[in-house]
Structure 1
Amino acid sequence: MSAGRSGFGGRVAGMLAAGVATSCVRRGLRRRPPGEAALWERTNFEGSVVDLYAGPAVALGSAAAVALTPGVSGRVRAATVLAVLSAGGCGAYDDMAGRGDPRRGFRAHLGALRQGEITSGAVKLLGIGAAGLVAGALLKRDAVDRVLAGVVVAGTAHLVNLVDVRPGRAAGAVLVLGAPGLLKRGGAGMLAAAPVGAVAAVLEDDLGRRTMLGDTGAHALGAALGAVMAAGNGRTGLALHAAALIAVAACGDRVSRAAGAR
């Protein structure tokens, strides 16, 4: 599908579908939260209590929109849905099981793993990495391209989570990274509508300090964007994206400590 009139209409429809699905899931979670309501509350950097409902809402909303995206092959849809739900699921596990754990960043969790302790953060890192590789195998045919695509999917998921240190930071990153994807021709441009529409549905409340994406939402949206990048690039583009993401991950611990935990 071209980026012409019909393509533009498809992208708008995709954003609306993701936004509506996200809003419906969030309303449902607020009415009947799984478990105790306190599990879904966090204290932000200002000391205010906010909810975590936006995270699973954007994960499920964007996955639903991707599943219904026209003009995209079944393999690409399956890869993107798998990446979104797996990254969101791993993030949700860390949100719940890792509540109160002061350790942050790759080094802290992998260091604990070397000492024989399996932290929720380590489970998240390894789980998202594995999901990225599976998604990459679905998105590409060549072995090298599959590995690069997996790095892009997992790396983008971690990138969005890395910048989630203040209200609106992760959401803004999704919009900035997703906007160029909307201009791509073919399926990649259609897929980009899902994370953009999903995050737009919660942006006002995120900026208003009423909700936060948490690891669930940040990783899910990042994985969606990574799948868009992987689907829309050849080997050179994949290699450049992968190199940039690895460089960001290498200095991620230092950035996180400087910015402070949200």
Structure 2
Amino acid sequence: MAGTIMRVGLCARRLAQVGLKAAGVTLSWSTSLKSTAQGLNRTNFHGRTVNLRGGVGVAAGSVMAAVEAGRLTRSASTSDLSAPRSGSWVGLASTLATTAGGCAGLVDDLDAGAHDGDLPAKGLKGHLTALARGRVTTGALKIAVIGSGALVSGVLLARHRSAGTDRCHLAASAVDAASSAVVIASWANLLNLLDLRPGRALKTAFIVSAPLLTTPGHDGEPTRLLAAGTLAVSLTALPEDLQESTMLGDTGANAVGALLGTALACHPSRVVRAGAALGGVGLILASEKVSFSRVIADTPVLAALDGLGRRP
């Protein structure tokens, strides 16, 4: 009994460590840019002036969460002789994915469609169509950067899962890496697609990451730690996002989406990983034909949740 209580206490302390550091970095970056980031002002759908400093803060906090989760996972695997010493793969994967998402999103935000030409490209299909016609948009660049980061991260996570096993089946590892990459890339993009109204993307990150805190077992620790970081970043940025003082932009939405995607891709259950991949890809494809905002507005429960806490 005493041993169980100690393990639970240690787990809670690790989750709090990641959460506090991620929240602190998110808040400090957003606050420090308050008086110097006038160039990041944008006009939102209400016609109000908002600032992208919130997205920069979220990206910085997401990267911190990834780094800290990797550090704690590595230290846990080092202290537990029965566990595979592969925590460094998790840290590298999550840091690479969130950094790629944040940097690619920042380039897109700063460009503000200047390279889209006379007909701005919209959605995955629009950017790929423009690329096929020889026009490289920042959206296409973002697809390449986030996709590459997700692919490398997927390989690292597959390596993490195969550590400690006697055999390494190349085909199985390739499928594992590819499916993990799909999860990370699709959720990074999905959170960006949801960032059409204040608080929507951050609420989604909160709702999806909260149950991940209960992921069982030693193998579930990377997921728990990354989920704690996602939760902390989302809650820290949510008040200003809802009040339309700041906005995530591609910078914040892609970064926190990649962090959440990595948490899902780390999950020890293949069923959860497969569900995350199918759900992420399915919703992205659906967005090409269906308006998320319209579906939410037409569904009372979703509309109430979507508008909760939002500035009138």
- Normalized against structure 2, the TM-score is what? 0.77
Cα RMSD over matched residues? 2.1
Q: What corresponds to 1:79 in structure 2?
A: 93
Shift of 1:5: 2.7
**Contact in 2 for aligned 1:165/1:259 (Cα 8 Å):** no
Q: What corresponds to 2:250 in structure 1?
A: 215
Shift of 1:56: 1.4
Shift of 1:126: 1.9
**Contact in 2 for aligned 1:63/1:194 (Cα 8 Å):** no
Shift of 1:206: 0.3
**Contact in 2 for aligned 1:80/1:224 (Cα 8 Å):** yes
Q: Write the letter of the residue equivalent to 1:119.
A: T
Shift of 1:216: 0.6
Q: What corresponds to 2:188 in structure 1?
A: 157
**Contact in 2 for aligned 1:188/1:229 (Cα 8 Å):** yes
Q: What corresponds to 1:175 in structure 2?
A: 206
**Contact in 1 for aligned 2:66/2:98 (Cα 8 Å):** no
Bigger drift between 59-68 and 87-96 goes to 59-68
After superposition, the Cα gap between the structure-2 partners of 1:235 and 1:41, relative to the gap in structure 1 and judged at 3 Å, is same
| Aligned mates of 1:223, 1:3 — CA distance in 2 | 29
Shift of 1:28: 2.1
| Aligned mates of 1:226, 1:121 — CA distance in 2 | 19
Bigger drift between 232-241 and 145-154 goes to 232-241
After superposition, the Cα gap between the structure-2 partners of 1:68 and 1:225, relative to the gap in structure 1 and judged at 3 Å, is same
Q: Write the letter of the residue equivalent to 1:117.
A: R
Q: Write the letter of the residue equivalent to 2:185.
A: A
Q: Write the letter of the residue equivalent to 1:14.
A: V
Percent of aligned pairs with the same residue? 35
SS state at 1:245 partner = helix
Q: What corresponds to 1:56 in structure 2?
A: 56
**Contact in 1 for aligned 2:73/2:90 (Cα 8 Å):** no
Shift of 1:258: 5.7
Alignment of 1:77-116 (within 5 A): 77-99=91-113, 102-116=120-134
| Aligned mates of 1:257, 1:170 — CA distance in 2 | 12
- Deviation track 1:100-159 (CA, whole Å, cap 9, x = no partner) reads 654320111111111110011111112111111011011113111000000000011011
After superposition, the Cα gap between the structure-2 partners of 1:30 and 1:77, relative to the gap in structure 1 and judged at 3 Å, is same
Q: Which runs of 5+ in 1 are unaligned?
A: none
SS state at 1:42 partner = strand
Q: Does 1:251 align with 2:286?
A: yes
Higher relative contact order (CA 8 A, sep 6+): 1
**Contact in 1 for aligned 2:267/2:273 (Cα 8 Å):** no
Q: Does 1:44 align with 2:58?
A: no
Shift of 1:3: 7.7
Shift of 1:242: 1.4
Q: Which runs of 5+ in 2 are unaligned?
A: 75-86, 160-172, 296-312
Q: What corresponds to 2:66 in structure 1?
A: 66
- Normalized against structure 1, the TM-score is what? 0.91
